[in-house]
Structure 1
Amino acid sequence: MAAAVSAVDDLVLHAPRVLGFAPTGRIADRYGLDRDDVEDHLLDLGARGWVGSAAFAGTSGWFLTEAGRAEDERRMAAELDRTGARPVVSDAHTRFLPLNARFARVCTDWQLRPTRAEPMAANDHTDWRWDERVLRALGTLGRELTQLTDPLGGCLQRLDGYGARYAAALAQVDLGQRRYVDSPEVDSCHTVWMQLHEDLLSTLGIPRGADG
């Protein structure tokens, strides 16, 4: 059975929940949509009070309002019921939680390298063995993430691609682009991971932090 395809209006509303504050182009690129079409949908959603726009420091973008968050969760719940995907997404979320705890520890090890004198010392990335251990752990998590997310993409098209995006970030790390581990400015391992977590939570209507 082919994966269910979400309505464009639902995707445009859902994107700021997953991406956070995001410009039109980033929303369009996330789901492979036409930018002008996305802009039209955003303006309509804004007129309904479900999204807002803001500009600061030379950047502009869209965000969900509280009413928009409620509407998004209503639509996501309806989609799960309509497609029968709820058990698959719920199972993926349950399996994701222990991986998420491991990922958090690995990210901490990338950012910190404790010493006897300073338990919270920043990792200056001069210890090759330390960093290689962290990168091996990220690779293992990536393989497990792909196994977890493949069934998601098989039932809902909008949930496809997380494993591939994570693998692409790791490939950049292997090429020496270490910012692809955790930089919020690029599609890093951390960025992809956090977006997947938010996608699972918002799809299931679980408040952030309520899943431990």
Structure 2
Amino acid sequence: MLDPYLLTVHTLTLRQLGTAEQLAEVTGQPLADVEANLEKAVADGAVLAAKDKFMIGPTGRTQLDEAYPTAFADIRASDAIRDAMDAFESGVNVQILSLTTDWQTKEVGGERVPNDHGDADYDAAIVDKLARVHEKTARVLAPLVAADPLVDRFLDRIGTALTRAEGGETDYVSGVRVDSVHTVWFQMHEHLLRLTGRERPE
């Protein structure tokens, strides 16, 4: 697995611009450790700093590209993980994308129009479906959860977003300014691709 320094740099491939606090939330690392790792990464030229936010630089991407094959060698050699990823891509990931589209738009008179979220029953049905897909995802990704605790953390964060959406905070379905289901799912998917050495499907 990645050492704490490279894990911090890696987090900037999942959240492409973030504060130390936001990066610590993604990985669960102590904030002080993330801050120290970022300070070193900036000095190394691996990470670029803009006031209190950070983004990965070309040197950081090269460091990760060189580290991934060794750090994730066992994961990439696992048949169970390969099968889990196949099931993830062809199943739950497709379902999440479809449900996100259904959340953002709805069919009216045979045409797709923006969802104004005026139909509480329509929205509640989608959140319920998202929760069922979330439960299924935990089963599909079980081999990856066993191999990398960060995968389980992503699933927990998606569960937290769903709880807030169920409580009426609708931004937590697909909002970009909060850790919504869609935002955290995107981060998790990117992490899975980097773990397994796969490309994002078209």
* Counterpart Cα distance in 2 of 1:116 and 1:176: 27
Contact kept in structure 1, 2:127 and 2:166, CA below 8 Å:
no
1:7-26 to structure 2, matched below 5 A, reads 7-26=3-22
Which residue, 153, 160, 179 being the options, matches 2:171?
Answer: 179
Taking the aligned partners of 2:137 and 2:178, their CA distance within structure 1 comes to 19
Counting matched residue pairs gives: 199
Secondary structure at the aligned position of 2:54 is classed as: strand
Q: 2:103 aligns with which of 102, 105, 110?
A: 110
Give the AA of the match of 2:183.
Answer: T
Q: Which has the higher helix share?
A: 2
For residues 121-168 of structure 1, the C-alpha deviation after alignment (integer angstroms, 9 at most, x for no partner) is: 111122234223312221221111111233222112233222222122
> SS at 1:33's partner residue?
coil
**Structure 2 CA distance for partners of 1:126 and 1:28, relative to 1, 3 Å:** closer
Distance 1:163 1:28 in 2: 16
> Structure 2 stretches of 5 or more lacking a match?
none
Contact 1:25 1:35 in 2 (8 A): yes
Unpaired runs of 5+ in structure 1?
Answer: none
Give aligned-pair identity as a percent. Answer: 26
User: Which stretch shifts more, 32-41 or 71-80?
Assistant: 32-41
Asked which structure has the greater RCO (Cα within 8 Å, sep 6+), the reply is: 1
Question: Structure 1 residues 37 and 161 mapped into 2: Cα distance closer, same or farther (>3 Å)?
Answer: closer
- Counterpart selection for 1:130 from 114, 117, 122: 122
* Aligned alpha-carbon RMSD (Å): 2.1
1:85 match: secondary structure: helix
What do the CA deviations read for 1:17-39 (whole angstroms, capped 9, x no partner)? 11221111212232232323322
5 Å-filtered alignment, 1:61-210, equals 61-81=53-73, 84-86=74-76, 87=78, 88-98=80-90, 99-116=92-109, 119-208=111-200
CA distance in 2, matches of 1:160, 1:111: 27
Asked whether the equivalents of residues 73 and 205 of structure 1 are also in contact (C-alpha less than 8 Å), the reply is no
Q: Distance in 1 between matches of 2:178 and 2:94?
A: 22
Return the letter of the residue paired with 1:38.
V
Residue 54 of structure 1 corresponds to 50
